[in-house]
Each structure stands twice: as C-alpha cells, then as structure tokens.
Amino acid sequence: MKPFAFERARNVDHALSLAAAAPGARFLAGGTNLLDLMKLEIEQPETLIDVGRLPLADISETAGGGLRIGALATNTVVASDPRVRSRYPVLARAILSGASVQLRNKASMGGNLMQRTRCAYFMDPAKPCNKRLPGSGCSAMGGLSQATALFGASEFCVAVSASDMSVALAVLDAEVETVRADGSVRRRPVETLHRLPGDAPQVDTDLAPDELILAVELPPPPSGGQVWRKVRARASYIGALASIAVAGDRVALGAVAARPWRARAAEAALAEGAAPREAAEAELVSASGEDGRKTLVRRLATDAIQESRKGSRS
C-alpha cells in the first residue's frame, strides 16, 4: 500500500471542502472495496477522506410514499429493515446475496454503488487494463475471463459492474442524491450513475471529484411480484455470472454491463404482450459476446419474469 494522507470529515461541508482541496482524493466509508484495491496498489489515492462518521445513515419514509436511505446505512441495516423487506424484497435479497455478513456489516449504501469491477485483469496490476491504466489496452478481450459485458461494452473495456444491490435499485427506479462543494444538490437515477466505458473506461461514474452521495431514494414499489436471482458457481462469496431483478413489469440485469442494465427492450416487449422468453430474446438482440452467456441470460430472464407473474416475492 502506498503512503497516503488521511482526513476525517467533521461534517458534509468539511468533507466536500477537503475533496475540493485535494484532487485525486477518495471518500472512504466502509472501505471493503477501496482498501483492498489500495493494498493491491490498484487504487493509489494520495488522500483518503473518511466520511464514515457523518450522520448519513438514517432510513426514513418520504412524502411520496417511498423510502429514503442514507448513504452510510450499512448493507446489513438496509437488508434487515422491515420496510425494505416488506416493500422492496428484491433489494433486501440482492444485498444479502452480495457479500458475506462481515462485509455487509461494514459496507455502506453509497460505497456499494462506488465499488469497482472485479474483472480479473483489472485486479492484476501486471496486466494491461484501460480502466486501471488508460491507454494500456484491454487484456480481458481475448482473455480467459468469462465475466465480460454483453451490453454497452466498448473497444476499450468489457468489464462488468460487481454490484448486486445496484441491479435491484435500478429495477426499483431508485435515485441517487448527491451534493458538491459548491452546495449544488443533484438527483439522478441509479441506472445512469455508472457510465458505459466508451473511450474512457477509467471513469466509472458521472460523479464529479468533489461530489458526495447523500442518499438513495426509492419511489413506492411498483405493483406486481418482485424476484431476485443471482447465478454463480458457488453458493456465496462470489460475484454473479449473471443476475436479474424483476419488479412488476420492470426488468434489470446484473453482471452483464458496466452499469446495472435496465432491460428496456424486454420491458417494451412485455408491455406489448410478449411472452417472457420473447421479451428476453428481444433484449438479447443488442447483446454481444459469448453465446453461452447469452443463453444463460435468456433462460434466467425467462424464468424470473415467469416467476414474478406468479405473484411470487422470492
């Protein structure tokens, strides 16, 4: 781990002014991903701004009948909150499948959204990786890793998002509320918080360097069943080969793109009365990549949509 400066933010304004004053600084919350990456020298921030003690952990009802979850609410707290469990079971289940209990106890709402890809070549500093070292190339292309993007990849990067939670948030039309050093507060859908790689895969999100996540807001849940599925070689402690969140007539896919992937084509097909399998196939029209992965997504999406229509909330 490279030496770095450590600052503890006293309040949100302090955190933002520290960030504005220290280019290249990173906010530190639970640290479950950032500290690992620093030990591997994949992340080498000169300054860490500890926001972990800021009062941003509340979960509260919104006027519109939704739920506002503070950026520092731990994954454990969110997944066990009775309101989340009863109204947004897809979110609770996604979080529970996302990490071991030790990690969930530390990991925060905002930090989970900010976690970086687990692409094996991104994780190996000895290999070319445009996300880690812009311009060095992409060794995942033509490589051995199966976990590459089906949607939204570019010629520079095929990495996928590692966050399960964000897939559920995307299907729930959740919004991220942020604040910048100049005091401006902004909201954007979780779905578009993360950038597609384009020609700058090193930039994961559209957050400005001095922009801090304050909360995630969930609108009231859509009517209909909610389903969460995560496919993986072992039962725990590993990222998805593919995942899916279904809520009512909405569908989001995970581990298939650099962002949680709202399956708009599938949703449109369903709205026009298509069968689940036809909807899944409609989404896959725009997919690139290995046939086996497409097959998995087709079968998974077909089955999960069917299950949601049985009114099941598993």
Partner 1 sequence: MSTVRDWAAPNPITENRSGLIGKPVDRYEGRLKVTGTAPYAFEVETPSAPLYGHIVSATIARGRIAGIDLSQAASAPGVVLVWSHLNVPVQAQRGAKLNPRSQRGSNPALGSDRVEHYGQSVAFILADTPENARAAEARIRITYEASDADLDFGSFIDSAGPVPGEEDARIGDFEAGYSASAVTVDATWFSPLQNHAQMEPCATTAWWEGDKVVVHTSIQMVKGGQHALAETLGIPSDRVRLLTRYIGGGFGGKGQSYDDLTLAALAARESGRPVRVAYTRRQMFQATVHRPAVQMRVRLGADGTGRLNAMALEAVTHCARNSTFVEHAAEFARNLYAAPHRLTGHRLVRLDIPHAGAMRAPGEAPGMLSLECAMDELADRLGMDPIALRIRNEPEVDPDNAKPFSIRQLVRCMQEGAQQFGWDRRNPTPGAVRDGRWYVGMGMATAIRGNFLLPAKAGLRLTGDGLATLTQGMTDIGTGTYTILAQITGETLGLPLDQVRVELGDSDMPPAPGSGGQFGAATAGSAAFETGMVMRRRLAELATSDPRSPLYGEDPLLMDFANGNIVLGNRSESLATLASRAGPEGVYVEGSISPAADARDWSQHTYGAQFAEVGVDSVTGEVRLRRMFGVFAAGRILNAKLAKSQITGGMIWGVGAALTESNAVDPRYGSFLHQDLGGYLAPVHADIVNLDAVLLDEADDKANPMGIKGVGELGICGSGAAIANAVYNACGVRLRDYPLTPDKVLAALEAKGL
- For the segment 58-77, give every residue that binds partner 1 (CB under 8 A): none
**Is residue 6 at the binding interface for partner 1, with CB under 8 A as the rule?**
no
Q: Which is nearest to 64 in space by CA: 178, 210, 180, 174?
A: 174
Q: Of 6-14, 191-199, 217-225, 293-301, which segment contacts partner 1 by CB under 8 A? A: 293-301
**Is residue 185 at the binding interface for partner 1, with CB under 8 A as the rule?**
no
**Is residue 142 at the binding interface for partner 1, with CB under 8 A as the rule?**
yes
Measured from the CB atom, the residue of 23 and 137 that comes closer to partner 1 is 137
- Give dist(CA 103, CA 124) in Å, integer: 22
From the CB of 186, what's the least distance to partner 1, in Å? 33
Measured from the CB atom, the residue of 18 and 119 that comes closer to partner 1 is 119
- For the segment 258-277, give every residue that binds partner 1 (CB under 8 A): none
From the CB of 32, what's the least distance to partner 1, in Å? 12
Measured from the CB atom, the residue of 71 and 244 that comes closer to partner 1 is 244
Measured from the CB atom, the residue of 135 and 142 that comes closer to partner 1 is 142
Say if residue 284 is exposed, middle or buried (CB neighbours under 10 Å; 0-12, 13-18, 19+).
Answer: buried
- x-marked contacts with partner 1 along 91-120 as a string, rule CB under 8 A: ---------------------------x-x
- x-marked contacts with partner 1 along 216-235 as a string, rule CB under 8 A: -------------x-xxxxx
**Is residue 123 at the binding interface for partner 1, with CB under 8 A as the rule?**
yes
**Pick from 10, 23, 41, 46: which binds partner 1 (CB under 8 A)?**
41
Three-state SS string over the chain comes to: CCCCEEEECCCHHHHHHHHHHCCCCEEECCCCCHHHHHHCCCCCCCEEEECCCCCCCCEEECCCCCEEEECCCEHHHHHHCHHHHHHCHHHHHHHHCCCCHHHHHHCEHHHHHHCCCCCCCCCCCCCCECCCCCCCCECCCCCCCCCCCCCCCECCECCCCCCCHHHHHHHCCCEEEEECCCCCEEEEEHHHCECCCCCCCCCCECCCCCCEEEEEEECCCCCCCEEEEEECCCCCCCCCCEEEEEECCEEEEECCCCCCEECHHHHHHHHCCCCHHHHHHHHHCCCCCCHHHHHHHHHHHHHHHHHHHCCCCC
Q: Of 56-64, 140-148, 256-264, 281-289, which segment contacts partner 1 by CB under 8 A? A: 140-148
**Is residue 278 at the binding interface for partner 1, with CB under 8 A as the rule?**
no
From the CB of 88, what's the least distance to partner 1, in Å? 23
**Is residue 285 at the binding interface for partner 1, with CB under 8 A as the rule?**
no
Task: Tell me which residues touch partner 1 (CB under 8 A).
Answer: 1-3, 41, 118, 120, 123-124, 126-127, 139, 142-146, 229, 231-238, 241, 292-293, 295-296, 299-300, 302-303
